[in-house]
């Protein structure tokens, strides 16, 4: 509509003006051209052809000639009038435009006359060129009728476009907006929206995915609360039970009972530590103490830590270490990861002849630290998920060790924090090998 308005304004206020200016420029040009051709033997022919081409009138008057076309308004000027005009032109330095020249007989105010005085063989020659500005109204009318058609076309097209846009964009967006209010509750359902537009379709899919994530997080939260409270309750029940035993039967084996209480309290404390750690990693509140460390020291420390326990549990535990290399890492955190791998290797093995191998090996141009067990293994469908927070493959697994599905998530946060590549290779019921790769320093 704005464009139409602009066209209308330019037509009504400026078209006439520019049309007149064009006309005037054109008769002035022609006047100059004719004046410069005075003396030319083909003057009459030239005048005729210009008059025809440009649809204007030309008259050339001097003492010796008067070239004119009788059908043209300029031929109506008598000699008295001609000499008046010539006088005015002379006064005006030899050229003048009469834009309001009223012809005595015709009384026309739409006639524009341009006059130029020139000399030929010492005689004054007057060149007059005239044009009518009348055609403007005819043009204007033609344009205006077209303009009306254009307005109608534009209005129809605008309505059609508005309809299409509303159907394509606004309607689905509104539907998505309405549905999105349910997103926070995990109730977003975009399946009925089916937008035709690619971007809106993507937006819908993204929101559906966000909804899935919200549901997942919600489920995980509920599971965590369930797991944690279960895992807290077991040691607490034991602590209370053993403490009561000490109180009621002081003659019983107090040291053994007290040891059990201490053991259980330690498990509680380690669970709480894990929870605090994971929340710190997630809020990126942890700083790594990166230093040059010896892998031999690291692996031997872990080995010694578990060797005795493995002997008692009848687990064949070996350390595979052929060379010592140094790397830059946070030793304490790497130990935390290896402890998690070790605890899992011990926990998820229901076989009679259990073996665990802790070691360092070269894989391509990297060094790999791994913990391999011949335990239960992990099914393919679970292998991606075990690194997720609170994920447990077998939710009813009876374990001696405290676990609430955060060990691997914690290890993942630590390894990602140190920018180390990590992973697991496993075949169900055969083996699992958890690993991370390090760079050799120097
Ligand atoms: P959890 O506290 O339950 O042990 P983790 O994050 O350490 O939590 O492990 C997540 C899940 O991955 C475990 O519940 C277990 O099912 C599986 N898993 C981890 N390590 C092993 C392993 N060595 N062998 C078989 N399954 C494992």
Stated pTM of the model: 0.52
Closest approach atom of ligand 1 to CA 387: 6
Q: Is the CB of 393 under 6 A from ligand 1?
A: yes
Ligand 1 pocket test, candidate residues 408, 415, 426, 427, most atoms within 8 A of CB? 408
pLDDT at 139: 67
pLDDT at 396: 54
Q: Contact, 242 vs 265, CB < 8 A?
A: no
b/e burial code for range 264-293 (CB count within 10 A of at least 16 → b): beebbeebeebeebbeebeeeeeeeeeeeb
List strand residue ranges (DSSP E) for 50-195, in order: 57-62, 66-67, 95-98, 111-120, 123-132
pLDDT at 102: 56
pLDDT at 395: 55
User: Exposed, middle or buried: residue 315 (CB in 10 Å: 0-12, 13-18, 19+)?
Assistant: buried
Which residue's alpha carbon is at the smallest distance from atom 18 of ligand 1? 344
Q: Is the CB of 339 under 6 A from ligand 1?
A: no
Q: Is the CB of 371 under 6 A from ligand 1?
A: no
What is d(CA 421, CA 415) in angstroms, rounded to the nearest whole number?
Answer: 7
Task: Count the Cβ atoms, other than its own, within 10 Å of residue 64.
Answer: 9
Partnered with residue 316 across adjacent β-strands are 355
pLDDT at 316: 96
Q: How much distance in Å is there from the Cα of 375 to the middle of ligand 1?
A: 11
pLDDT at 131: 86
Residues of the chain falling short of pLDDT 50: 397-402
Q: Is the CB of 407 under 6 A from ligand 1?
A: yes
Partnered with residue 359 across adjacent β-strands are 320, 370
Q: How much distance in Å is there from the Cα of 348 to the middle of ligand 1?
A: 7
Report angle CA 177, 178, 182 to the nearest 5 degrees: 105
Write out the two tokens for 94. 């030899």
Which residue's alpha carbon is at the smallest distance from atom 13 of ligand 1? 392
Give the closest residue to 40 by CA, choosing from 118, 143, 157.
Answer: 118
pLDDT at 429: 94
pLDDT at 73: 81
How many residues in total does the chain contain?
Answer: 442
pLDDT at 135: 55
What is d(CA 356, CA 371) in angstroms, rounded to the nearest whole number?
Answer: 7
Which residue's alpha carbon is at the smallest distance from atom 12 of ligand 1? 386
């Amino acid at each position: 509509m704005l464009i139409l308005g602009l066209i209308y304004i330019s037509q009504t206020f400026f078209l006439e003006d520019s049309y007149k200016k064009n006309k005037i420029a054109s008769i002035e040009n022609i006047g100059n051209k004719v004046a410069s051709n005075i003396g030319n033997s083909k003057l009459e022919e030239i005048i005729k052809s210009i008059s025809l081409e440009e649809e204007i009138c030309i008259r050339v008057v001097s003492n010796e000639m008067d070239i004119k076309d009788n059908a043209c308004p300029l031929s109506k000027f008598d000699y008295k009038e001609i000499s008046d005009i010539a006088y005015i032109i002379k006064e005006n330095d030899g050229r003048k435009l009469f834009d309001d020249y009223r012809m005595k007989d015709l009384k026309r105010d739409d006639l524009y006359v341009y006059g130029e005085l020139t000399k030929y063989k010492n005689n004054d020659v007057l060149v007059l060129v005239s044009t009518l500005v009348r055609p403007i109204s005819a043009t204007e009318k033609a344009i205006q009728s077209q303009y009306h058609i254009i307005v109608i076309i534009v209005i129809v097209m605008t309505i059609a476009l508005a309809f299409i846009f509303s159907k394509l964009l606004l309607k689905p967006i509104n539907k998505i907006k309405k549905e999105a209010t349910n997103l926070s509750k995990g109730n977003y359902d975009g399946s009925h929206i089916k937008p035709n537009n690619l971007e809106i379709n993507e937006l819908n899919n993204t929101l559906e995915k966000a909804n899935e994530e919200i549901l997942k997080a919600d489920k995980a939260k509920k599971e965590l609360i369930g797991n944690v409270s279960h895992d807290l309750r077991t040691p607490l029940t034991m602590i209370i039970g053993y403490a009561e035993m000490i109180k009621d039967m002081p003659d019983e084996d107090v040291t053994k009972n007290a040891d059990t209480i201490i053991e259980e309290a330690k498990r509680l404390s380690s669970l709480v530590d894990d929870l605090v750690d994971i929340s710190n990693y997630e809020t990126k509140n942890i700083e790594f103490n990166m230093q040059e460390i010896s892998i031999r020291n690291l692996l031997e420390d872990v080995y010694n830590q578990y060797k005795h326990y493995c002997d008692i549990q009848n687990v064949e535990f070996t350390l595979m270490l052929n060379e010592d290399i140094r790397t830059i890492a946070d030793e304490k955190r790497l130990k935390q990861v290896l402890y998690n791998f070790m605890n899992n290797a011990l926990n998820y093995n229901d076989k009679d002849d259990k073996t665990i191998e802790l070691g360092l090996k070269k894989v391509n141009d990297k060094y790999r630290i791994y913990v391999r067990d011949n335990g239960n293994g992990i099914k393919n469908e679970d292998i991606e998920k075990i690194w997720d927070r609170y994920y447990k493959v077998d939710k009813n697994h009876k374990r001696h060790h405290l676990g609430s599905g955060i060990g691997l998530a914690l290890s993942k946060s630590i390894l990602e924090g140190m920018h180390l590549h990590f992973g697991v290779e496993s075949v169900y019921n055969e083996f699992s090998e958890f690993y991370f790769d390090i760079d050799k320093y120097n």
